[in-house]
Amino acid sequence: MKIKVSFQPLQRSIAVLLCFLLSPLSAPTFADDNNSSFDEPVGKITGLVSIATRNRTNSNIRDVVRAKDNLSTNTSGRMRIELHDGSILSVGSESELKIVKHNPATGETIGTVPRLGRAETRQAIEAAERAFPAWRKKTAKERAAIMRHWFDLMMANQEDLAKLMTTEQGKPLTESKGEVAYAASFLEWFGEEAKRIYGDTIPSHQADKRIVVTKEPIGVVACITPWNFPLAMITRKAGPAIAAGCTVVLKPASQTPFSALALAELAERAGVPNGVFNVITGAASEIGGELTSNPIVRKLSFTGSTETGKLLMAQCASTVKKLSLELGGNAPFIVFDDADLDAAVEGAITSKYRNTGQTCVCANRLLVQDAVYDAFATKLADAVKKLKPANGLEPGATQGPLIDDRAVEKVESHISDATSKGATVLVGGKRHALGGRFFEPTVLTNVTPAMAIAREETFGPVAPLFHFKSEADAIALANDTEFGLASYFYGRDIGRIWRVAEALEYGIVGINTGLISTEVAPFGGVKESGIGREGSKYGIEEFLEIKYLCIGGI
Ligand code: ADP
């Protein structure tokens, strides 16, 4: 298989190109300035995806990433990007080897990425293995400097990365901008944190011995990420891994490959050496099969569905890989009768409707105490009516489309199941007049545990309101699930705040807030929501091994 990059004549002054190599053994080949066309295979290894630039100092990600009008495919199925200077960049794979990516808001084709498989994944893993010794040898300060540069480049290109994200994922531009900053924060935080990977000395059990504990990077790390946070889910894994001295092979979601590729471009511009951060797009089960069975890979960090997580966990068993899994949730959002209802509504809007309800920490069940049920429902309905579904690039949009048709069907099925069993639609309840994958932000009342929405993650803009009587009822209802990622509650009584916080079987508890994500805090779940934590001082530990040195004959 050959993956080619071609430029049309005349237009190469900025000449940004997508090429497919990160192996330390193979350098990119660039056309010289006098050539008017460039149609050679780029690099010797075709399976590894990265973006390289001919003129790193002057070019800007803006040249690569532009709003949807400038992203299109030509007849050969290659992605065509118009650069700021009017030049045309054509990238992509041979037509039979591509994944076609559509804009979820418009259905238009954005472009294609290579459909790579097992062999190319193995090449990527081997490239990461070759890069590992030199990268781990660098001092933490040296690695931190590169990561800081990577962070700076993300922030300098925040607007363009956000436009790309909205185009391929659908979320409103303001949310995309927020995510770019959130994603970048993991590079900054973990670059610094690498300087604080401390070991231990332990008082010895024998007079002539000394006990020392050191920490080492685990080695080659595989990351598999979802589409709902196309950048942040990557940097939350690759950030600590790379900071710790590991090298990474990343498989981004097929729905959002371009953000991952843009991130790889910025990594390269920041000075992340070849082979340290490899991005591979293509067939999930083939790539996943190689990542989980190849003995060179020492760790898998996955975010996605519980079903896929269980499969990958089983696949990792044969080579006993270390695992971090961030899986599904079924978050309760409890409103006690002493809650500040306006604050609770604000928190519910943030937690439930952010990213059109497509986050694993979205409130999935709103449990409201009887005395405030009607008042809360009315206030929430009023706030939901003010939400604005629209193409995420439109000013004022607050609700983008759902990611695909399957997602729309799931939302519909949860609503029809609930209403058939006695729930009432207070607001919304159907596909939006905009058509396509837009759905009306919805509030359901009189929802009960007998309905599917009580047990399954809806992953859409539907707030189901359950009744409860007492604190004990709320806790029992909240914990009645196999999931245990995020939970939320609103109330003012200090004794109850402690009791409920301690009783909730969840990795994360938001108390009087609907927004809990930050790079400085540990994110992760219990029960079937996963294993391990991301972010914070705990997050870097996931990519380290402990080594115990026992020194005798002292
Ligand atoms: P979602 O429902 O959010 O798409 P998935 O668990 O299906 O959740 O997908 C999360 C990530 O896992 C994506 O990158 C997807 O391509 C990948 N994935 C899905 N199935 C497999 C598999 N069998 N092996 C490896 N990766 C997979």
Measured over all CA atoms, what is the biggest interatomic distance in the chain, rounded to whole angstroms?
79
Instruction: Say yes or no: CB of residue 260 within 6 Å of ligand 1.
Output: no
Q: d(Cα 504, Cα 498) in Å, to the nearest integer?
A: 10
**Does 336 score more than 90 pLDDT?**
yes
Instruction: Say yes or no: CB of residue 311 within 6 Å of ligand 1.
Output: yes
Active centre residues (catalytic): 326, 360
**Does 329 score more than 50 pLDDT?**
yes
Instruction: Say yes or no: CB of residue 308 within 6 Å of ligand 1.
Output: yes
Q: d(Cα 69, Cα 58) in Å, to the nearest integer?
A: 24
Please identify, by atom number, the ligand 1 atom nearest to the C-alpha of residue 252. 14
Instruction: Say yes or no: CB of residue 37 within 6 Å of ligand 1.
Output: no
Closest-CA residue to 221 (of 118, 136, 114, 99) = 136
| Backbone conformation region of residue 428, classed left if phi is above 0, alpha if psi is from -120 to 50, else beta | left
Q: Residue 525 Cα, ligand 1 centroid: separation in angstroms? A: 18
Q: d(Cα 426, Cα 518) in Å, to the nearest integer?
A: 33
Q: Taking the CA atoms of 158, 161, 164 and 168 in sequence, report the sign of the dihedral they define.
A: negative
Those residues whose C-beta lies under 8 Å from the C-beta of residue 446, and which sit 6 or more positions away, are: 422, 423, 424, 465, 467
- Percent of the chain, pLDDT > 70? 82
Q: Residue 315 Cα, ligand 1 centroid: separation in angstroms? A: 14
Instruction: Say yes or no: CB of residue 329 within 6 Å of ligand 1.
Output: no
> What pairing do the DSSP bridges indicate for beta strands 220-224 and 247-251?
parallel
Residue with tokens 């991952």: 260
Confidence of residue 353 (pLDDT cuts 50, 70, 90): very high
Q: d(Cα 154, Cα 146) in Å, to the nearest integer?
A: 13
Those residues whose C-beta lies under 8 Å from the C-beta of residue 340, and which sit 6 or more positions away, are: 490, 492, 512
pLDDT tens digits, 429-473: 999 999 999 999 999 999 999 999 999 999 999 999 999 999 999
Q: d(Cα 391, Cα 103) in Å, to the nearest integer?
A: 10
Q: d(Cα 539, Cα 359) in Å, to the nearest integer?
A: 20
pLDDT tens digits, 154-194: 999 999 899 989 999 999 999 999 999 999 999 999 999 99
Angle, in degrees to the nearest 10, between helices 158-169 and 257-270: 160
Please identify, by atom number, the ligand 1 atom nearest to the C-alpha of residue 224. 14
Of all protein residues, the one whose alpha carbon is nearest to atom 14 of ligand 1 is 253
Mean per-residue pLDDT for 352-381? Answer: 98
pTM of the model: 0.87
Of all protein residues, the one whose alpha carbon is nearest to atom 2 of ligand 1 is 305
Provide the token pair at 382: 């009023």
Please say whether the beta carbons of 35 and 8 come within 8 A.
no
Instruction: Say yes or no: CB of residue 226 within 6 Å of ligand 1.
Output: yes
Please identify, by atom number, the ligand 1 atom nearest to the C-alpha of residue 305. 6
